[in-house]
C-alpha cells in the first residue's frame, strides 16, 4: 500500500504509524532531518471537541480538510507554529500533530535555530520547538509532504512494535475532549515531551 493511502484512515489510526517516521526539511538552504517520537490525533467536524475542525471549516483550518498527506500549519499563543499531518479523504477533516522528534541530521542548523536548548534531546522536544528546528512557518500550510521536491518531506517506516509505544490523553486538551487517549509516543525515548493536563 502506498504511503499516501495509509494516511486516508482516521487520525487516531494513522497517528501510531507516524512514530519513527522521518521528516526532512530543506528550508533556507539548510537541511534538518528528524525522527518523529511523539504525536497526537485530532478528529473531524462534530466528532472531537479538542479539534480545530470540530465546529466547521474556516480559512484557518482549511488544510485540515484535505487532501491527505498535506501539512496543516497553524499559529498558536501569538508566538508559535505547530505542524500537523493531514489524514482522511478530502472533505473529512483529520490531522496528527507532530509533538516531538529526534534530530538525526543537520544538528548544526538545528542548534543555531534553537540556541536556548539545554541539550540535543531538547531541540525538538515539543511541537513549537519541532517547527523551529525545521524552519516551518505558515507558508508551508497546505503543502504536500510527499512531493519529492518539496521543502518538507515525510517518509514512513515499518510500524513500530506495540511494546515500544505509549498511549495517553492529549497534552493541554480540556473540556469534553480531555480524556481522549490519542497521544502516542515512543517509550524510553528522551526526546518525548512531558505530559501536561489542560490549565484551568
Q: Is residue 74 part of a domain?
A: yes
How high is the pLDDT of residue 78? 80
Write out the residue range of the structural domain in which residue 70 sits: 3-186
Q: Are residues 87 and 10 in contact, defined by beta-carbon separation less than 8 angstroms?
A: yes
**Residuewise pLDDT in 10s, the chain (200 residues):** 677 888 999 999 999 999 999 999 999 999 999 999 999 999 999 999 999 999 999 999 999 998 999 999 999 878 899 999 999 999 999 999 999 999 999 999 999 999 999 999 999 999 999 999 999 999 999 999 999 999 999 999 999 998 999 999 999 899 989 999 999 999 999 999 988 887 66
CA distance 144 to 86: 10
Q: Rounded to 5 degrees, what are φ and ψ at 4? A: -65, -30
pLDDT, residue 30, reads: 97
Closest by alpha carbon to 40, among 194, 191, 168, 138?
168
Nearest to 21 by CA among 166, 191, 159: 159
- What pLDDT shows up at residue 145? 97
Q: Is 200 inside any structural domain?
A: no
CATH number of the domain residue 108 falls in:
3.10.300.10
Question: Residue 37: left (phi > 0), alpha (psi -120 to 50), or beta?
Answer: alpha
Kind of pairing, strands 95-105 and 80-86? antiparallel
125 HSE (CA, 13 A, CB side) = 16
Task: State how many domains the chain has.
Answer: 1
From residue 8, alpha-carbon distances to 23, 88, 90, 91, 197 in Å are 19, 4, 9, 11, 29
Grouping H, G, I as helix, E, B as strand and the rest as coil, residue 73 is strand
Residue 198 lies in a domain: no
Chain-centre distance of CA 132, in angstroms? 13
Please give the backbone phi and psi of residue 81, each rounded to the nearest 5 degrees, phi first: -100, 145
* The pLDDT value given to residue 198: 73
Asked whether residue 37 is domain-assigned, the answer is: yes
Asked whether residue 167 is domain-assigned, the answer is yes
Q: Is the residue at 195 inside a domain?
A: no
Is-contact 18 36, C-beta < 8 A?
Answer: yes
**28 belongs to a structural domain:** yes
Candidates 6, 10, 3; CA nearest to 88 is 10
Q: What's the grid cell of residue 50? A: 479538542
Amino acid at each position: 500500500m502506498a504511503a499516501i493511502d495509509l494516511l486516508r484512515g482516521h487520525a487516531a489510526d494513522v497517528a501510531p504509524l507516524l512514530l519513527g517516521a522521518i521528516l526532512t526539511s530543506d528550508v533556507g538552504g539548510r537541511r534538518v532531518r528528524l525522527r518523529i517520537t511523539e504525536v497526537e490525533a485530532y478528529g473531524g467536524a462534530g466528532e472531537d471537541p479538542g479539534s480545530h475542525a470540530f465546529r466547521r471549516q474556516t480559512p484557518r483550518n482549511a488544510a485540515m480538510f484535505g487532501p491527505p498527506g498535506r501539512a496543516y500549519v497553524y499559529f498558536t499563543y501569538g508566538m508559535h507554529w505547530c505542524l500537523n499531518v493531514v489524514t482522511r479523504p478530502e472533505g473529512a477533516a483529520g490531522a496528527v500533530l507532530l509533538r516531538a522528534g529526534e534530530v538525526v541530521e543537520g544538528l548544526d542548523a538545528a542548534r543555531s535555530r534553537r540556541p536556548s536548548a539545554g541539550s540535543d534531546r531538547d531541540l525538538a522536544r515539543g511541537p513549537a520547538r519541532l517547527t523551529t528546528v525545521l524552519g516551518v512557518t505558515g507558508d508551508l500550510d497546505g503543502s504536500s509532504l510527499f512531493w519529492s521536491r518539496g521543502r518538507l518531506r515525510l517518509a514512513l517506516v515499518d510500524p513500530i512494535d506495540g511494546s515500544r509505544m505509549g498511549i495517553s490523553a492529549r497534552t493541554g486538551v480540556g473540556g469534553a475532549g480531555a480524556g481522549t487517549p490519542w497521544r502516542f509516543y515512543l517509550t524510553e525515548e528522551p526526546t518525548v515531551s512531558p505530559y501536561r493536563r489542560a490549565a484551568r
